[in-house]
Each structure stands twice: as C-alpha cells, then as structure tokens.
Chains A and B, each alone.
Chain A
Amino acid sequence: MAKVGVYVCHCGSNIGGVVDVEDVCKHAETLSDVVVSRQNLFMCSDPGQEIIRQDINNGLVDKVVVAACTPRTHEPIFRKVLEGEGLNKYLFEMANIRDQDSWVHANDKAGATAKAKQIVASAVAKARNLQPLEDKYVDVTKAALVIGGGVAGIFAALDLANMGNKVYLVEKEPSIGGVMAQLDKTFPTNDCSACILTPVMVDAGTHPNIELLTYSEIDSVEGYIGNFDVKIRRKQAYVDWEKCTGCGACADACPAKTPDAFNAGLNNRGAAYIHFPQAVPKKAVIDMTHCINCGGRKIGSEPKISKKTGNPILAPCEKACPAGAINRSVAVDEGGRIMDVKVGAIVVATGYKVMEKENFKNLAPDSPNVLTALQLERLISATGPTGGQFLRPGDGKKPHTISFLSCVGSRDERHHTHCSRVCCMYMIKQAKLLKEKYPDLEIYMHFMDVRTPGKDFDEYYTGAIDMGINIIRGRVGGIDTLPEGNLRVMGYDSDLAANIEIDADLVVLATAIELQDDIKPFAQKLSLTLDGSGFFKELHPKLKPVDTPVEGIFLAGCCQGPKDIPDTVAQAKGAAASAAVPLSQGRVRINPTISEVNQEKCSGCGICEPLCPYAAISMIENVAGHPRARIEMTQCKGCGVCTTACPSTAIQLYGYTEDQIMAQICALTA
C-alpha cells in the first residue's frame, strides 16, 4: 500500500487567487492511498519544502504529489527534497494546477477548483503506481566545439580553453572576427572595434588548447551530451595554408572581380583574397565560384607551355605566390575534406546578418547613396574601401546632409516584429563620429522612439542632441531620388505634427538584424528550434538563457537574439561556464525516464526504428538470429513515440508506464 502525501501550493495568488486550495486539499484526502494533504503559500520555499521533509522523515509518506506550477522549473527542486530524505526521487509526481488551470481559467473560480481536483486525482493515481528508478551515467569527452568565430565564439572558446578544455573553434569564413571585425568604433565609449578585438583574436589563434578551424562548416552532429560526434567540413581553400604566409600577393595579382562581402559590397575583391588585413589566421583563399580560370585553364589541369620560352604559363595567382602555396595543376577535392571530432559540449555562436537594402523598394535601394548602416560602418572605417575617407559611393563627393532611418525592417509586421535592439545606439554612434569629425555636417535622425537601455547609453544619446544632431520623431515613408544623386527623404515630425522633407546627399538605413538564410538546415543538424522572430530558442527565457532543448548544446550571441557587444560577451562567458559543467564533472547523468524494449515480447517488426526522432533505435539479432529492436539509452529522450507505436506493447517508457497512464486516465474520467 502506497502512502501518498499531497501538497497543494497557493503560488502566492497565482493559484490561490483562483482555485479554492482548501477545498482541493480536502478532496485529496478522500483519494485512495492518500495519507496526508497539506497546503502552503509557496511549497517551493524553504518552509514549504520542510513540510514534505518532515512527513517523509516521520515515515508518514512514501510517495509525494505536489500540486503547484510547472515541472519544467520546479520538478528538480522537489525531487531533491525526496532524495535528501533518502526516498527515491522518482517517487514524485507534480500536478500542474497553475499553467494548465488557474492561469487559463482565471474567470471561472468554481470550474478551476473542480479541474484542480481532477488534476490532483490523476497525479495521485499515477503516484500510487510509481516505481523507483536509478540514474545512469556516461563518461564525458573533455573537449568542446564552438561554432562561429565572432566575438561570442571567440570569448566562449577562450574561457573554455582557459579552463583546460580542448576547444575546436569553427568559422565558415577564412578568418575569425565576425561582424565586430567590420565595425569602425563601438558605442557608448567609441573604442576602436579592431583595437579591442584584434588582440583577442590573436589570443584565440595562438591558444594551445584552441584548434582554429576557419573556412569550415558543420557537416553533421550526432550523439548526445558528453559524447557528440561532429563532422566538420574544411572547405577547399585552393591555397596550401601550410605554406601561405598571408602576404596577399595572389590577391593583388588576381584579375577576377566580385563584391567584397567584408566591405559590405562597397568595393570588389579578387577571387584570390585575404579576408581582411587583421585576419586570424592570415591566410589566402581562392573563391572558386568567382575564379575566372585565367588562360582558360581549369583547376587541376597542367599549364600550357609557352612556345617562346618553353616555360609553363602559370596563372597570375600561382605566379605571384612567393611561398609556392598555390599549385593549380593539382586536382583537389572541391568539397574540401571532412574532419571528425568528438566533443562533450557545443556552443552555438553563429551570429547574424543585417537585411539588405534591396528589401525596401520605397527607400530608393538602387541609389548608391542609400547605404545600410553596416555599409556606412565600412565607409568610415580606416580599413574600409576609402581608407576611412567619408566620401559617398555614388560620385565620391563629401556629403553635407545625412538622414538616418531607424527600424528599417524591424518592428514591422511585413518583415520582422522584433526590435533589433542595437540600431538606435549604433546610429547615434555613427552620427556622433561623423559630427565630431565634420562639424558642418547636417545630420537628421528619424526614430519611432529612441531606445537606450544600457549603461551610459542615454547620456550618449543626449550628448548627440547637444552636438546639434537633429532628432525627428516619426518613421520615414519613402525616399525620392533627386538630380545629381541626391535624395529627398519624406517623413513626418510628430512633434511638429507636420509632414517634413529632408534633401539629403546620403541616407543610412538601420536594417533589421536577422539570422542567415541557410540557418534552418543548420538548426536541423543540431536539433535546435527557432523562435517566432527566427532566432535560436533558449530553453527558458529567464532561467535557462544559454541552454537549448538539446542537453549539452548552448547558445551565445546574436544567434539567440539581437544584442550588443557587452551582452554578447557576457552571454558567451555564460555559455562557456554552462558548457564547462559537464566537461568538468567528467560524467553526465542519463535521465532514467527513457524507453526500453522487452526482448521477450519484441516481434522484430521494426515499426519503431524509423519513427524514433533521435535515431536511438537499432535492429539487432538475438541469440536465435531473429531481429529485435534495441534502444541506445544515451540517445533516447523519452518522448514515447516508439512505446505507443509498438504493436506488441514490448516497449516500456519508465516513469510513464502503461499502468501509470491508465490509472491517470481512469482518475480523470471517473
């Protein structure tokens, strides 16, 4: 005979304000095997937990039901109470009478109370049938994978490496650095972005525990926390990095032209190129999709021999390379090569991109003098296409009047409903930098509202006003092109309550932050989910901000949502700390609420195998040579799909066994 204790929580007024807790408590006492039923304002508080402790300690109860909030946040708390008193922690059942009752039926107190009684009865029915379960453990590979070499990935990698873990830092571009490397200066201190980032990039590049894998992508991720098997595709660089010294001679010699993504397309680079001057590692690559195969000679074919000299006619890149790192005669695998690594934890720090101006047909995107803010960033950067000279792309003239447009694609249901969070501040930064350098510049900034929620942010903003930068409240509807490449910005000043126009010679669009176009297939490789705005979804917005639904995979930086550099670095360090937990524990717990196949009952039909979303089921042969299903415990997540599908009821999901579920259904339908 089970001795079930029922503990009903008021959750302040969350439950108590709707549900008659007293009544639910009394009802619980009438249920079979319930020996005691108690209530508390907050069962999760220390005094609340103490009530349960004493009842277990006094031998009064041996199964515990807490009727309260969600097991997602609170089940571990109460399980720990059982464990502390020497009771198996899986002899606990939670009845959610808040999220699934008082919150949704706030206007029907009687109905909510009746429903609470049913939910409690169902939990008690299950609790009576609970069996003790034992945690299982597996060893952990003491290495981490960091995906993305922007400021988030670099900091996560450095922290993990400094804790003594082997770290693989994977970056799809030839160099680490990410978007921060493209920025000129950073708000609200106007630190030079390169000056503060470059030394950290070098640290990451030279750290003995970090293996830098740039120009690489994730091919596949298998396995589970503690033991992920990762295939990394090292893209074909067509340059021997062992020999390349990063001199840039090949880039100078290359006659091909393609927009330079690092300079946000403001100028062209060759097919042979070095990512940017401070690149880490500073290695050249040949972008074969834009290579023009000089002399009609494809890669992997022998050069023609000059009739005059008798010497081979080499491609300009081959010829220019003083280190002999480029040999186009050698046939190499275009797909690069696959590298297998085994890691215990993964930090995803894949960053973001900004929307292109072409998405906004009303804002004269075809004008070369309409720029995205990232393009302006490159235009004013000392390493940018003009060497930091502020000249507009259309005709190389120095601008006199600039309009900045905020919320372009953000807070707009036609594009993104989210606020991109950093645009107000970086626009103010750009305006201030320009105004400081060119005081005669007339600057207009169009805002819906100015969002400056950060340390020293509002002071930074009011500083811009004091400098004479014109702030206009109101979104811009359109831009007309004027002769000589100028632009007429058509807006509204809600403070004047009047339509306004600005005749600008340069317009800057603060386009929305979003994730890369190919993020969905990448997310699928890692079984990660995206939120409503298209960013990676964290496990809990407040309490698990760097965790994901996949144990052992953590998030850092803008891939989780738009954020500035300080927040990105903080989150990266948080993700590194969380990823270090399993690595330093050396072993990870496997939840015992997973499925197992009863080999005696299994008919070997194989229905379950393709159904498993985690590829945890394989068909093996038993001693008699018959096929039987087997579940790999480290991969099973306990979803129960196989259990319900099995025609022989051979699969048992511990913690959700058939008799437990049936008892719950009976209680609910009684």
Chain B
Amino acid sequence: MAAINLTKMDKKEVIQKVIENGGTGITKCIQCNACASVCPVAKAGFPLYGRLLFRKLQTGHFEEIIEDSSSWACQACNRCTEICPRDAKPFEMVFAFRRMQANELAISTSAFTPLMNLHATGHAVYSEASKDLRVSVGLSPEPVTSISSEEAQQEMRTLLDNSPMGELGIF
C-alpha cells in the first residue's frame, strides 16, 4: 500500500463535516483506545471500530471508508462516551459518520424497504399476520397507530420529507 500523503488529504473538510453532523469531539480524540476497549463493534471483529474510525476521519479519510459497514453494527450502548477521558463523545462521532454515509446513500440495500415502509405507513416493519387474531378477540383489524390513521401517516411523511432523509430521494 502506498504511503498516505497527509498534506494532500482534505482533513479540514472531513473534520468540518463530522462536526456538522454532530461529532463535535472529533478533534479532541487522542487515540487512547479506551472506547475500543469497551466497544461491542470492536469485540465482534468489525474492522472500523470507534478509535480507528476517528483517526481515519481526523486524517481526512471519508471516500476511502464510506462503504464500510462497521458503523451500522454500533449498538448505541453509549459505553464509549461514558469511558472517554477527553469527553470527545465517541458515540456521537459514530452516528455523525452514519449520517455522512446515509447522505451518500452508503447504506445497506436491505435498509431501503423498511425506510420506504416508514414513509408510507409510519412503520418500518409492519406485519398483517395478526389481523385475524385481533378480530377473533374483538379488536379492530388494525392497531390504533399510524397504520389506521391517514392523518398520522401524513404527519410522519411531513416529518421525514423535511428531515435530512427527505433529501436522499428514496421516498
């Protein structure tokens, strides 16, 4: 592998993007590895766990790592943020990276159907299998959620269309 010329990396741009997406602690990370020591993502053997992800971002890597799926293995346990000695909020950085990935549609194709379901019905996953069972015990066929309320579905669509996800063009 050729050496990485750090002077030619877009460090400022990537760091700025991480900060805009909520990873405000990116420049505080000192690579101590405390976050990695408690991280389920690291323990499960995903290559781009917290500390390494942050170093890549600090040194201006984004295109190079955009397709990596490690960040989606984050369980949002928040242990990294609890243990970070620099209060860099690593969890926020992982989610900032996820947002950056999503903005480039660098997400699993299997995530598209649930997202479209959410936009259409307010449910990412909705099963009709319980319909008969509900009727047999005297309930309405649909639960009293957005599924049975056009108004609620409209509200959900408004929310999603006006969120950063609306700009992705998947709805």
Contacts and interface: CB of A to CB of B under 8 A. Distances in A.
A504 interface: yes
Contacts, number: 55
A503 B8 contact: yes
Contacts of A261: none
Interface in B1-33: 1-8, 11, 27-28, 30-31
B81 interface: no
B115 to A, nearest CB: 33
B5 A496 contact: no
A501 B30 contact: no
Given A493-B59, A496-B55, A496-B59, A466 B28 contact: yes
A473 B33 CA distance: 13
B27 A465 contact: yes
A504 B51 CA distance: 27
Given A495-B55, A498-B1, A499-B1, A444 B31 contact: no
B30 A500 contact: no
B56 interface: yes
Nearest to B86: A462
A465 B87 CA distance: 14
A101 B99 CA distance: 67
Contact of A500 (B6, B27, B31, B86): B6
Interface in A462-501: 462, 465-466, 468, 470-473, 490, 493, 495-501
Contacts of A401: 7
Contacts of B4: 493, 496, 498-501
Contact of A470 (B6, B28, B86): B6
B30 A465 contact: yes
A465 B32 CA distance: 14
A310 to B, nearest CB: 68
Contacts of B51: 495
B27 A503 contact: no
Interface residues of B, number: 19
Contacts of A444: 6
B30 A499 contact: no
Contacts of B7: 401, 442, 501-504
A371 to B, nearest CB: 19
A468 B11 CA distance: 11
Contacts of B30: 462, 465, 471
A507 to B, nearest CB: 13
A462 to B, nearest CB: 7
A500 B8 CA distance: 11
Contacts of A468: 27
A490 B3 CA distance: 8
A498 B5 contact: no
Of A473, A500, A503, A504, most B-chain CB atoms within 10 Å:
A500
A114 B11 CA distance: 69
Contact of B5 (A462, A466, A497, A500): A500
B78 to A, nearest CB: 23
B3 A466 contact: no
Nearest to B11: A470
Contacts of B86: 462
A302 B24 CA distance: 77
A110 B7 CA distance: 65
A498 B3 contact: yes
Interface string A395-410: 0000001000000000
Interface in A500-516: 500-504
Contacts of B55: 493, 495-496
Contacts of B11: 470
B48 to A, nearest CB: 12
Interface in B46-63: 51-52, 55-56, 59
A465 B28 contact: yes
B3 A500 contact: yes
Contacts of A496: 4, 52, 55-56, 59
Nearest to B30: A465
Contacts of B28: 465-466
A53 to B, nearest CB: 53
Of B5, B8, B28, most A-chain CB atoms within 10 Å:
B5
A465 B25 CA distance: 12
Interface in B35-92: 51-52, 55-56, 59, 86
Nearest to B8: A503
A307 to B, nearest CB: 65
A199 to B, nearest CB: 38
Contacts of B59: 493, 496, 500
Contacts of A472: 6
Given A495-B55, A496-B56, A466 B27 contact: yes
A498 B31 CA distance: 15
Nearest to B7: A503
Nearest to B58: A470
Contacts of A470: 6, 11
B66 to A, nearest CB: 17
Contacts of A499: 1-4
A401 B7 CA distance: 8
Nearest to A504: B7
Nearest to A400: B7
B56 A501 contact: no
B1 A502 contact: no
Q: Which 7 interchain pairs have the tightest Cβ spacing? A: A499-B3, A503-B7, A501-B5, A495-B55, A495-B31, A501-B3, A500-B4
Given A466-B27, A496-B52, 11 more contacts: A466-B28, A470-B11, A472-B6, A490-B3, A493-B59, A495-B55, A496-B56, A498-B1, A500-B3, A501-B6, A501-B7
22 contacts: A444-B6, A465-B28, A465-B30, A470-B11, A472-B6, A473-B31, A490-B3, A493-B59, A495-B31, A495-B51, A495-B52, A496-B52, A497-B52, A498-B3, A499-B3, A500-B3, A500-B4, A500-B5, A501-B3, A501-B6, A501-B7, A502-B6
Interface of B: 1-8, 11, 27-28, 30-31, 51-52, 55-56, 59, 86
